[in-house]
Structure 1
Amino acid sequence: MVNIKPYKVISELNEQHKLSNVEKILLGTDGSITNLLEIIFEGKVAVKTVYQEIIDNVNYRAVALSVKDIPLIYATSKTPLSNIEDYYIRESVKKDLLSADIPIGKILKIHNLETRREIENISVSEVPEDAKKLLNPLREELPQRKYYIIHNNKPIMEIDEYFNIEDHLTK
């Protein structure tokens, strides 16, 4: 895993793309995006699962996160379930991922998993077609980041997020 300095990368991206302060915070946080979205947009985050499949004990999932029916984030995750060592927790996390539209941050909290996030990449890049359909962005490129959720020194999730926040902030 790459050890980047989010403040440096975000500063450089801001020079080129004029990011809002909210976008900077979301791109650089090592905490819960769900919690931040609920504070910023003053409502509960809803998750719409777009795609989900388990292949070779790895859960692949694509979701759209929204608040008050406003689609804000398109995220894909890859969860190698075998990296969650405790059988009971592994099966409970698997069940939550498969059976409910629950944000990953809330799944981790429900199961009291002590985790940390390690950001691998922060960029502004072209929006994938799946994300365009769900987010309906006004821009061709959106802030994006890739990070890992680490538990017991093992990556238990790899997450890519595209943020369509700026279109919905009150000026």
Structure 2
Amino acid sequence: MVLKPYRIINELSKRYPLRNEEKMLLGTDGSVTNLLEILFNGEITVKTISQKIVNGVNYRSVILKIGDTPLVYATSKIPLKNIGDETLRDSIKRDLLSADIPIGKILKMHNLETRREIVDISYKEVEESIRRYLNTERRILPQRTYNIIYRGKVLMEITEIFNIGDYL
């Protein structure tokens, strides 16, 4: 069964105060980085919270910010073996490990033709540590999980927790 973002977002908006911009971010199958830069008229910067490679899978947690404003807490799980080309795999791995670059920009830098497949859209409670990173008292926030598909394989699994409503 294919997830229909508009249906889920419509149901969530009946229960929670979702702004139109939040609905767009939850439902887009394009670059969140690009949308945030348009909405907030600035360049996204990334602050890496943690990163490790376990059994060939890169795990990364970051905060996406514009200036000093934390907008998104994001985690990614990247099974590096799914990048078949060894040179490309090493280059992407280097970019992930050595620089605070948003994943959307890494994909663009390497000219990868990918698609995003949303697997979950929700509005739920977040841990206190994430609330601190996002500088919010709100206990429940809009969030989503999606896969980035490259050549028929899951290249990355991304979860994004949004805290943009206070800043629009």
Q: How does 1:47-62 map to 2 (within 5 A)?
A: 47-62=46-61
Q: State TM-score, norm by structure 2.
A: 0.98
**How far does residue 130 in structure 1 lie from its aligned partner after superposition?**
2.9
CA-to-aligned-CA distance 1:68-119 (integer Å, 9 cap, x gap): 2100000000000000111111110000000000000000000011000000
Give the partner amino acid of 1:106. K
**How far does residue 128 in structure 1 lie from its aligned partner after superposition?**
2.1
Partner of 1:74, secondary structure, is: strand
Name the % identity.
60
Q: How does 1:123-134 map to 2 (within 5 A)?
A: 123-134=122-133
Partner of 2:89, secondary structure, is: helix
Q: Which residue of 2 aligns with 1:144?
A: 143
**How far does residue 127 in structure 1 lie from its aligned partner after superposition?**
1.2
CA-to-aligned-CA distance 1:116-150 (integer Å, 9 cap, x gap): 00000000010123311210223210000000000
**How far does residue 26 in structure 1 lie from its aligned partner after superposition?**
0.2
Give the partner amino acid of 1:125. K
List runs of 5+ in structure 1 lacking aligned partners: none
Q: State TM-score, norm by structure 1.
A: 0.96
Provide the rounded CA distance (Å) in 2 between the counterparts of 1:59 and 1:78: 6
Indicate the larger mover: 137-146 or 97-106: 137-146
List runs of 5+ in structure 2 lacking aligned partners: none
Provide the rounded CA distance (Å) in 1 between the counterparts of 2:129 and 2:106: 24
Which runs of structure 1 show a deviation greater than 4 angstroms over 4 or more consecutive aligned residues?
none
Q: Which residue of 2 aligns with 1:91?
A: 90
Q: Which residue of 1 aligns with 2:17?
A: 18
Q: Please say if residues 143 and 162 of structure 1, whose CA atoms lie closer than 8 Å, have aligned partners that are also in contact.
A: yes
Provide the rounded CA distance (Å) in 1 between the counterparts of 2:156 and 2:127: 21
Q: How does 1:15-164 map to 2 (within 5 A)?
A: 15-164=14-163
Q: Please say if residues 44 and 67 of structure 1, whose CA atoms lie closer than 8 Å, have aligned partners that are also in contact.
A: yes
Q: Which residue of 2 aligns with 1:8?
A: 7
Indicate the larger mover: 148-157 or 138-147: 138-147
Provide the rounded CA distance (Å) in 2 between the counterparts of 1:64 and 1:3: 29
State the number of aligned residues.
168
Provide the rounded CA distance (Å) in 2 between the counterparts of 1:22 and 1:88: 38
